[in-house]
Amino acid sequence: MINFTQEDIGSAESLFLPGSNKFSEEVKGIIECVESKDIIACPGSGKTTTLLAKLSIIGKQLPLENNKGICVLTHTNVAINEIKERLGVEGNKLFEYPNFFGTIQSFVNQFLAIPYFNNTFKRHVSSIDDEIYNSNILREFYSLDYGIQFGFGKKYGDSRDRIHDALKEMRYAFDEEILIDKFQKSLYKSQGKILLALKRIKQEVMEKGILCYDDAYWLSVQYLKKCEVPLRNFMSERFAFMFIDEMQDTSHLQNEILDKLFDKEQVIIQRFGDPNQSIYDDSDNMAWNIWDGPLKITDSKRNSEIISKLISPFELIPSGMKGNGERETINPKLFVYDTESITSVLSEFANTIYEHGLHSNPNNTFKAVGRIAKESEDDKVKIPSYFPQFNQKSNSIETKKLYLVDFINKDAIDQGQNRDAGSYYNSLISALLRALWLLEVKTNNGSYYNKKTLLKEIITKDKHMYIRLEENLVRWCLMIRKGYDIKQDFIIYTNELLEKVFGITDLSILSRFYKRERLVEDSIPATNNVFHYTQGENNTIEIYIDTVAGVKGETHAATLFLETNYYSYDVKQLIGAFKGEMKGKRGKREISALKHAYVAMSRPTDLLCVAAQRSSIEGHEEELSSAGWDLVYVQSTDTEDDKGQKKPHVKVIST
């Protein structure tokens, strides 16, 4: 059994906490806990740091009794890369057999879907990827008889896009041998030529080993139906611990699979998360069924005391959150606007940032976020109502990268958006892929390498080079984030890799890639979703515009939550919570609105602002003021200050 000594905890504190900071008693209790527990962590409480500290201590005591392993599951590869980066080289043992670190999807693929597929179809899986699957299912569809194509097209109004979407969303039902659509309804109520043809192409694509992500879950469910007890026994023999990060984002299906595989009496299961932030599942019945007696982390290192107080009524499950008393108290602002002044809200947010001096710290990030981004013809408020040039896709578009400097430069990777470790990791891998592309090096089947096939090729041909690559990637990520130049180090390793793994000795073609600095016309454009505001001659700040889902997990110095309309207006629907009232029973849409508001309003360390139309707060002004909000009325920008800058008319009616 693992021992957690005070010396171990002290070592973890020095490794993961700044200065001479110490873990709270709550955190120490979680680190030392060796029984199955749920851990509920309030926003900014250091949940991931707590898990990392625990893993680092366990890692030093490997191998475990009976050579059992540790299973760590997350929802994104970004989270895995962050764990790798923060644990550093000392954590390498944790990523070796018999341990498993990965996403729930990769876990399902490795332990359930792939073995079951191999045994059932007597061949290997070719790919588990939605894009590859989609292209193959469309190709098979257009090989069908024209009458079949025409008949299926009529069902979807002969719209090519809708036909393609329907084909891509076609799935096997989990409980019946039927094809269903994205609404979980049968494609056709009765058997006919079209349905038989669709079944055939779906089966043929699967038999080729070309799977979409949902197919992997479907195969896993079939495997569990036949072998649940042996599989659960196997997991109990393989793993001593199972940790899940961001448990609130686990779907009902994922949770059902994990519950069947892991017995909490045989495996120590600890599930970390914040149930109040489960915005990816709008169901009023959250998949995470919290066990009795959960452990809690209630100290928010992120939010000031006033912010913590004001967002507490938005919690569906009380966290007992306590704000950071060391942060300056800035009263949260509620910007009230009319239709003609909505585009002045961002200017007032910028003015408020200036007034409190938050712009003076170059490391501070400012964001304005809303729930609904999609533009439509109706007049309901959305993010573009505040910022007309907003483009939801532009936040995810990768800038075209041509030369090595584009992949290893902090500004080129981060672009001022406070990106996480995964962005740096993926950029470095992309630099290697770019080099192989320039050299026209391809896989055995004639295609260019991607991230998966590249890493597989390296580990197969030279395990030592692969270990060095993983160590270098962690080190390079840290160095780039700190502003160091890794160019020569990267070139030396890459040249050695190309020679030892791919047998390439003539690297002259890479000379321009390595040495070329960007031309002016190649310069990296900033995302379009930035509101620029200047006060005076040299004081310009940038406010990044995004969706609530897009900033989940981020920390900002100041955050503006933009009221949008999803069946109803956010502030109007949740006016009771804004006034500090707790409510019992809530409907599904109100629960979803609460979660989105909570995620948005728990991002800032110093300044929280909310934008609401006048009709949403009318009649509640005094109660909002008493709850702690400064009400600020925003009018259209039609005056100039002494520097000639347009500025909004405002009237603070409570402070």
Average pLDDT estimate for 146-164: 86
Structure-model confidence comparison of residues 328 and 602, the more confident one: 602
Contacts of 136 (CB under 8 A, 6+ apart): 205, 208, 210
pLDDT of 494 > 70? The answer is yes
Q: How far is CA 613 from the centre of its chain?
A: 30
* Other C-beta atoms lying within 10 Å of the C-beta of residue 388: 9
**How far from each other are the two terminal CA atoms of the chain, in whole angstroms?**
56
Contacts of 432 (CB under 8 A, 6+ apart): 454, 494, 497
Split at pLDDT 50, 70, 90, the class of 310 is very high
Share of the chain above pLDDT 70, in %: 88
Average pLDDT estimate for 68-95: 78
Which of 65-79, 173-187, 414-428 comes out lowest in average pLDDT? Answer: 414-428
Split at pLDDT 50, 70, 90, the class of 90 is low
Q: How far is CA 396 from the centre of its chain?
A: 12
Token duo for residue 512: 């321009």
Widest pairwise Cα distance in the chain: 78
pLDDT of 461 > 50? The answer is yes
Q: What pLDDT was estimated at residue 399?
A: 44
Q: Per residue in 108-147, is it b (16+ CB within 10 Å) or e — as a string?
A: bbebbbbbbbeeeeeeebeebeeeebbebbeebbeebeee
Amino acid 368 reads A
With CA atoms as reference, report the closest residue to 333 among 655, 106, 6, 11. 655
Token duo for residue 111: 């332990």
Structure-model confidence comparison of residues 585 and 168, the more confident one: 168
Cβ proximity of 169 and 214 under 8 Å: no
Q: What pLDDT was estimated at residue 398?
A: 42
Split at pLDDT 50, 70, 90, the class of 540 is confident
Which of 253-267, 297-311, 390-404, 446-460 comes out lowest in average pLDDT? Answer: 390-404
Plot region of 304 (φ>0 → left; ψ -120 to 50 → alpha; else → beta): beta
Q: What pLDDT was estimated at residue 401?
A: 65
Token duo for residue 584: 């019992």
Cβ proximity of 32 and 4 under 8 Å: yes
Q: What pLDDT was estimated at residue 443?
A: 84
Q: Per residue in 182-220, is it b (16+ CB within 10 Å) or e — as a string?
A: eeeeebeeeeeebbebbbebbeebbeebbbbebbbbbbb
Cβ proximity of 78 and 299 under 8 Å: no
Q: What pLDDT was estimated at residue 94?
A: 85
Cα distances (angstroms) measured from residue 74 to each of 147, 476, 562? 46, 23, 29
**3-state DSSP helix/strand/coil percent for the chain, to nearest 5?**
50, 15, 35
* Beta strands at 530-535 and 539-547: parallel, antiparallel or unpaired: antiparallel
Compute the distance between CA of residue 250 and CA of residue 337 in angstroms, rounded to an integer: 38
Average pLDDT estimate for 570-575: 95
In the beta sheet, which residues pair with residue 610? 334, 561
Split at pLDDT 50, 70, 90, the class of 649 is very low
Q: What pLDDT was estimated at residue 394?
A: 57
Q: What pLDDT was estimated at residue 158?
A: 66
Compute the distance between CA of residue 200 and CA of residue 206 in angstroms, rounded to an integer: 10
With CA atoms as reference, report the closest residue to 494 among 546, 448, 441. 441
Orientation angle between helical segments 160-168 and 146-155, nearest 10 degrees: 100
Average pLDDT estimate for 113-123: 95
The reply to whether 6-110+237-297 and 303-396+527-652 are identical in fold is yes
Share of the chain above pLDDT 90, in %: 55
Structure-model confidence comparison of residues 351 and 15, the more confident one: 351
Helices (H) and strands (E) in the chain, counts: 27, 22
Average pLDDT estimate for 63-72: 93
Token duo for residue 344: 């002045």
Compute the distance between CA of residue 49 and CA of residue 55 in angstroms, rounded to an integer: 10
Instruction: State the CATH architecture for 303-396+527-652.
Output: 3-Layer(aba) Sandwich (3.40)
pLDDT digits (tens, 9 = 90+) for 595-641: 999 999 999 999 999 999 999 999 999 999 999 999 999 987 554 44
With CA atoms as reference, report the closest residue to 597 among 548, 639, 633. 548
pLDDT of 518 > 50? The answer is no
Q: What pLDDT was estimated at residue 397?
A: 39
Cβ proximity of 311 and 277 under 8 Å: no
Compute the distance between CA of residue 80 and CA of residue 63 in angstroms, rounded to an integer: 21
Contacts of 211 (CB under 8 A, 6+ apart): 113, 117, 125, 127, 128, 129, 133, 219
pLDDT digits (tens, 9 = 90+) for 208-252: 999 999 999 999 999 999 999 999 999 999 999 999 999 999 999
pLDDT digits (tens, 9 = 90+) for 265-303: 999 999 999 999 887 655 556 789 999 999 999 999 899
Residue 474, classified by CB atoms within 10 Å of its CB into exposed (0-12), middle (13-18) or buried (19+), is buried
Q: What pLDDT was estimated at residue 655?
A: 43
What average pLDDT does the structure give for the chain?
Answer: 87
Compute the distance between CA of residue 424 and CA of residue 408 in angstroms, rounded to an integer: 8
Which of 259-263, 501-505, 527-531, 566-570 comes out lowest in average pLDDT? Answer: 527-531
Orientation angle between helical segments 451-461 and 487-502, nearest 10 degrees: 70
pLDDT digits (tens, 9 = 90+) for 27-56: 999 999 999 999 999 998 989 899 999 999
Domain edges within the chain? 6-110+237-297, 130-211, 303-396+527-652, 404-522
Split at pLDDT 50, 70, 90, the class of 419 is low
pLDDT digits (tens, 9 = 90+) for 178-194: 999 988 899 888 888 99
Specify the residue for token string 């498993």: 100
Split at pLDDT 50, 70, 90, the class of 377 is low
With CA atoms as reference, report the closest residue to 343 among 379, 385, 390. 385
What is the value of pTM for the model shown? Answer: 0.74
Rg (CA), the chain: 27
Topology of domain 6-110+237-297, CATH: Rossmann fold (3.40.50)
